[in-house]
Amino acid sequence: MDVSANPLSPRRPTRQISVGSVKVGGDAPISVQSMTTTKTANVEATLEQIYALAANGADIVRCTCNDAAAAEGLAHIVPRSPVPLVADIHFHVEMALAALAAGVQGLRLNPGNLRKPSEIKLVASEARDRGVPIRIGVNAGSLHPEIYEQFGGATPEALVESARRELAYFEEVGFSDVKISVKASSVSTMIAAYRLASETFDHPLHLGVTEAGPLPGGLVKGTAGIATLLAEGIGDTLRYSLTADPVEEARAGRQLLEALGLRERKGLDLIACPSCGRAEVDVIKVATEAQTALEALGLPIQVAVMGCVVNGPGEARHADLGIAAGKHRGHLFIRGEIVGVVPEGDMVAALVEEAKKIVAEGVEARLAARDVSAADAAAADRAELIDDRGVDVNHAQQRIAEIRRRATP
């Protein structure tokens, strides 16, 4: 996929910062973040989760640093992590300083919790000297009481003002290596806050709907807010905040960016028809089995599962690979061209085998190796299905005559 040809609104220009090896803002790819749910002091469990997050699309991972044991855990975790780590700080300035000493590549400070100007500037000075960026993480649920009262609640203006005040403290000590988030659990408030932030700051913005909740509702809310802003060219990095395994956050973030054409495909993109009366197989069952089998391979490929051969190959002609159900058999197609016919029970296995060959050999090579008789078999099945569906099994003409007789006064 050519991400440079994306039809979304042009991305808003921002400063660029570096979170370890990951660049954020400017012309850098939009990055995906998530957060561990383990006790950071438990080094092995935390590393296991970090690796799982990285494997599922996370570019940056955040860990809580709420006590000395967590900071000591970070000292062991940082050098073994496959991705840059950000320490999440609440209330205690000592923990921010300890996390910096542990070698983290970023900090997240909540202005509503760490409020003393002297402490804020102390952390900013230390981060400046170490070359470590800070995210100003404003949250509608933890605004400074003074700002909350001034604006009459957690309004978009209040969220942006909180970030502006924090940034002013940073600027007093010459620190500008900053990204900003203005999160809310209300999607409409979140969207309005980020739009205002994009007009107010030139720093990179970290997108998210906070406390979105469990699946599937949390995924819907997160996507509604994040995708809306990305389509407008707003946002440089993102996190889904789900009440679920954090791997779901990383996976959702990566899939969203791929769906919008903002990141190259890294894993499976499975598309499937919603099924209808023409379907010759249980589309949901076949699609679910195919997704499970193909995701395990980790192949960067788009695969289609279609319920029938009447429209399936044509509707999914853009897919790298697909299968459509015919009369007790499946028609395998590549970029809309039929390449093989397999028994109904072998549909998923055929998809898996062909997917591996496409990734190894390329689309053109697999098209050249197609079964030339398969297209005729598919055409015959298609004609038979159309003919079957064309039979007036409901005796419509007789019914219409009866309707007209009864409807006439």
Q: Which two tokens stand for residue 380?
A: 């015959």
Percentage of the chain modeled with pLDDT above 70: 93
* Dihedral of alpha carbons 317, 319, 323, 325, sign: negative
Q: Indicate whether 278 pLDDT > 70.
A: no
CA dist 376 to 103, 313, 381, 383, Å?
64, 14, 9, 11
Q: What is the pTM of this model?
A: 0.83
CATH numbers and ranges of domains, the chain: 3-259 (3.20.20.20), 269-390 (3.30.413.10)
Report the pLDDT value the prediction gives residue 5, as an integer from 0 to 100: 56
Tens-digit pLDDT profile for residues 199-210: 999 999 999 999
With vertex at residue 158, the alpha carbon angle to CA 105 and CA 91, rounded to the nearest 5 degrees, is: 45
Model confidence band, residue 349 (pLDDT cutoffs 50, 70, 90): very high
CA dist 378 and 326 (Å) reads 7
Give every CB contact of residue 335 below 8 A, 6+ residues apart in sequence: 317, 318, 319, 320, 363, 367
Higher pLDDT, 211 or 327: 211
Report the pLDDT value the prediction gives residue 105, as an integer from 0 to 100: 98
* Dihedral of alpha carbons 361, 365, 370, 375, sign: positive
Q: Indicate whether 386 pLDDT > 80.
A: no
Report the pLDDT value the prediction gives residue 45, as an integer from 0 to 100: 97
End-to-end CA distance of the chain: 62
Report the pLDDT value the prediction gives residue 1, as an integer from 0 to 100: 46
Q: Average pLDDT, stretch 33-56?
A: 96
Mean pLDDT for all residues in the chain:
90
Q: Which of 154, 214, 137, 224 is nearest to 189 (CA)?
A: 154
Higher pLDDT, 4 or 191: 191
* Dihedral of alpha carbons 200, 202, 206, 208, sign: positive
Tens-digit pLDDT profile for residues 220-265: 999 999 999 999 999 999 999 999 999 999 999 999 999 999 998 8
DSSP string, 236-251: SEE---BSS-HHHHHH
Model confidence band, residue 312 (pLDDT cutoffs 50, 70, 90): low
Tens-digit pLDDT profile for residues 167-181: 999 999 999 999 999
> 65-79, 108-122, 281-295, 352-366: lowest mean pLDDT where?
281-295
- Helix (H/G/I), strand (E/B), else coil: 329: strand
- Helix (H/G/I), strand (E/B), else coil: 106: strand
Tens-digit pLDDT profile for residues 4-33: 556 899 999 999 999 999 999 999 999 999
Model confidence band, residue 394 (pLDDT cutoffs 50, 70, 90): low
Q: Which two tokens stand for residue 67?
A: 């006590």
Report the pLDDT value the prediction gives residue 172, as an integer from 0 to 100: 97
Task: Report yes or no: 258 and 265 within 8 Å, Cβ to Cβ.
Answer: yes
Model confidence band, residue 393 (pLDDT cutoffs 50, 70, 90): very low
